[in-house]
Amino acid sequence: MGAEAPIGYHMTAERQVGPTLLLHGTERQRAEMIPRILQAEVSFALGLSEPGAGSDLAGVSTRAVRDGDEYVVNGQKIWTSGAHRSDMIWLVTRTDPDAPKHKGISLLMVDLKSPGVSIRPLINMAGMHGFNEVFFEDVRVPVDARVGDENAGWYLLAEHLDFERLGIERIVTARQLFEEAVAYVKALPHDAEARQRARRLMPDLAIELEIGRLLAYRVAWQQSQGLVPNYEASMSKLFGTEWQQRMAQAAIRIAGLAAGAVDETDPFLARVQHQYLTSVSMTIAGGTSEIQRNIMATRGLGLPRS
């Protein structure tokens, strides 16, 4: 039984789901990888974006050329979160350069310790090393490390992103900042201006927090029922990341000038600075807000593309 769709929305088609490896991996891949993943013995980075392929992931140019029982991979990925701490990379690569761009893509599980792989750090504006560039130079990958059929990877990738966009961690992270902002204002001895700003900003943010939490719960419930949330995941991702940004902006305004100073001894101010500097990127990672609105318009509301 599917979830009840809001009036004016088309319900996402029902089918049994799970992570892409569970849905499309071979029996050998499942037997080998899933126990290791569950035991935290192996970790994966996501090799999606490239310098010339961000929102349009079908524009990837990293190549995997078949050579007997192996692929030879050459190319580059960028903004690869956690690659410097990961064992494997879930690599989106082009296996048929002559096919239409959505038709010639495959997904490979690549060992990041393979000869020819190099990882370079990208330091963000908050001074953190989370992102990386990953380069592949004649990297040999067994054909049996491919998940799904050759040249059918785009459809698996789209399905994977529906799971990634649940994003309940965004609401949880920003909720901690919300609660700390409330406590911060209550503890202020005689700052009438800060208290006034909080009374003006926090009630709306409290309402939005509950909305974001329920949107994330809906997606989690759909997944538990064997459904693929599509526009629903985009709705949760869009709302959660933009709320996270609004919450960071409100916290900066409540803290005032003190938030502009680097003070690691004050946990609240340190969190405010970190959230403010990193929250914008959350509306880009995993598909920009514009992409999410397009998905909601076409797949949720059934609006024409042009």
Highest mean pLDDT among 5-9, 23-27, 152-156, 210-214: 210-214
- Average pLDDT on 98-108 reads 89
pLDDT over 50 (residue 121):
yes
* Residue 208 annotated in active site: no
Listed in order, strand segments (DSSP E) in 236-293 are none
Query: Given the DSSP bridges, would you call strands 117-123 and 146-147 parallel, antiparallel or unpaired?
Result: unpaired
Question: What kind of fold does domain 20-149 have according to CATH?
Answer: Butyryl-CoA Dehydrogenase, subunit A; domain 2 (2.40.110)
Residue-level pLDDT at 162: 66
CB-side exposure of 288: number of CA atoms within 13 Å?
9
What per-residue confidence (pLDDT) applies to 283?
Answer: 85
* H or E stretch covering 222: helix 192-224
Looking at the predicted structure, is the pLDDT value of residue 137 above 90?
yes
Q: How far apart are CA 11 and CA 248, in angstroms?
A: 33
What residues does 66 pair with on adjacent strands?
71
Residues 38-65 have a mean pLDDT of 86
The H or E element containing residue 236 is: helix 231-255
The strand ranges marked E within the chain are 44-47, 63-67, 70-77, 88-94, 105-111, 117-123, 129-142, 146-147
pLDDT confidence of residue 247: 92
**Could you tell me if 216 and 236 are in contact, meaning their C-beta atoms sit under 8 angstroms apart?**
yes
pLDDT value at residue 263: 64
What pLDDT, on a 0 to 100 scale, did the predictor assign at position 113?
Answer: 96
Please state the separation of Cα 186 from the chain's center in Å: 34
pLDDT at 110 over 80: yes
Residue 175: is its pLDDT beyond 50? yes
Angle at Cα 15 formed by Cα 12 and Cα 19, nearest 5°?
A: 100
Residue 109 has pLDDT above 50, yes or no: yes
CA–CA dist 118, 37 (Å, integer): 23
In 3-state terms, the chain is what percent helix, strand and coil (to 5)? 50, 20, 30
Q: Which residue, among 89, 96, 74, has the nearest Cα to 152 in the 3D structure?
A: 96
- The predicted-structure confidence for 63-92, as pLDDT tens digits, reads as follows 999 999 999 999 999 988 889 999 999 999
Measured between alpha carbons, how far is 115 from 250 in angstroms, rounded to an integer?
47
Q: Which of 161-165, 168-172, 195-199, 256-260 has the highest mean pLDDT?
A: 195-199
Catalytic residue among 14, 164, 193, 264: 164
Terminal-residue alpha carbon distance, the chain: 33
Does residue 42 sit in helix, strand or coil? Answer: coil
Please give the model's pTM, rounded to 2 decimal places: 0.72
Q: Can you state the angle between helices 168-187 and 192-224, rounded to 10 degrees?
A: 160
Per the CATH hierarchy, to which homologous superfamily does domain 165-300 belong?
Butyryl-CoA Dehydrogenase, subunit A, domain 3 (1.20.140.10)
Percent of the chain past pLDDT 90, that is, above it, reads 32
From the CB of residue 25, how many other CB atoms can be counted at a distance below 10 Å?
A: 20
Domain positions in the chain are 20-149, 165-300
Is residue 27 over pLDDT 90? no
Whether the pLDDT of residue 25 is over 80: the answer is: no
- pLDDT at residue 126, rounded to an integer: 77
pLDDT of residue 262: 65
What is the pLDDT averaged over residues 155-168? 70
Among positive and negative, which fits the CA dihedral 52, 246, 272, 236? negative
